């Protein structure tokens, strides 16, 4: 079956490098997190306590911290101003967990300070969700019809998919900035010693590569759709 994909649709080769990059990035972030999850901090505070200290240091006393199921399901929800930490992070006293928790606290700081890329990402989420759901149905409908009628549907699908790519593009500076804020916060609040900061930086750097990989995958997937549409039109 894999051979069939290559034989009948050579355009899959366009996205293969990004797919491999994304796969390796996921392995890297998991192995890095697992490695530094075994490194207990000298302060002995939990990740939730570290995030709370960082938030309070910046006057965000009203931002709540809650635990959610799963591993690395951590996120900040600007709608209810709540920082959600996963089970593998919330009560952990490791450098990896504190790095992740402070990264999410960095998003809370972005929200409170009106960080422009975060505001832009929040504003386009509804239309990007619609676009991501509609992209492939529209594109495949276009594949079913010949001529300009089918091509119009394919272009519509490409336009919708480009919204998802735009979301990935805007996400990149948001995530990198949150990690920078996390590193500054951990240092300013005395949450980690210098050697521990280096460990946390490695975890955040590995996580950042997953967002780079997601953008690369989205861009090359968009290019693939454009190539298919142009081939069909010609």
Q: Which of 39, 49, 64, 104 is the catalytic position? A: 104
The two structure tokens encoding residue 20: 């491999």
CB 15 within 8 A of CB 217: yes
Closest CA to 81 of 95, 67, 61: 61
CB 66 within 8 A of CB 84: yes
| Cα 83 to Cα 102: distance, rounded to the nearest angstrom | 10
For the sheet with 82-86, list strands across it: 64-68, 82-86, 75-77
* DSSP assignment of 122-181: HHHHHHHHHHHHHHHHHHHHHHHS-HHHHHHHHHHHHHHHHHHHHHHHHHHHHHHHHHHH
For residue 221, what are the contacts with CB-CB under 8 A and spacing of at least 6?
A: 15, 18, 161, 165
Q: Is 49 a catalytic residue?
A: no
Please identify every residue annotated as catalytic. 104
């Amino acid at each position: 079956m894999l051979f069939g994909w290559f034989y009948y649709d050579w355009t899959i080769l366009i996205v293969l490098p990004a797919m491999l990059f994304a796969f390796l990035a996921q392995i890297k972030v998991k192995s890095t997190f697992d490695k530094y999850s075994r490194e207990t901090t000298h302060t002995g505070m939990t990740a939730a306590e570290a995030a709370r200290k960082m938030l309070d240091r910046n006057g965000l006393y009203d931002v709540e911290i809650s635990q959610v199921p799963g591993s690395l399901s951590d996120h900040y929800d600007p709608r209810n101003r709540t920082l959600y930490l996963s089970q593998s992070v919330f009560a952990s006293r490791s450098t990896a967990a504190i790095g992740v928790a402070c990264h999410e606290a960095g998003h809370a700081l972005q929200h409170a300070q009106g960080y422009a890329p975060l505001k832009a990402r929040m504003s386009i989420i509804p239309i990007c969700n619609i676009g991501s759901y509609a992209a492939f149905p529209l594109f495949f409908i276009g594949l079913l019809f010949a001529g300009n009628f089918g091509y119009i549907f394919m272009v519509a699908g490409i336009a919708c998919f480009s919204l998802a790519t735009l979301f990935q593009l805007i996400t990149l500076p948001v995530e990198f900035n949150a990690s920078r804020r996390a590193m500054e916060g951990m240092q300013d609040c005395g949450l980690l010693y210098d050697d521990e900061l280096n460990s946390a930086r490695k975890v955040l750097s590995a996580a950042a590569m997953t967002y780079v990989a997601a953008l690369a995958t989205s861009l090359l997937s968009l290019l693939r759709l454009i190539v298919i549409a142009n081939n069909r039109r010609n």
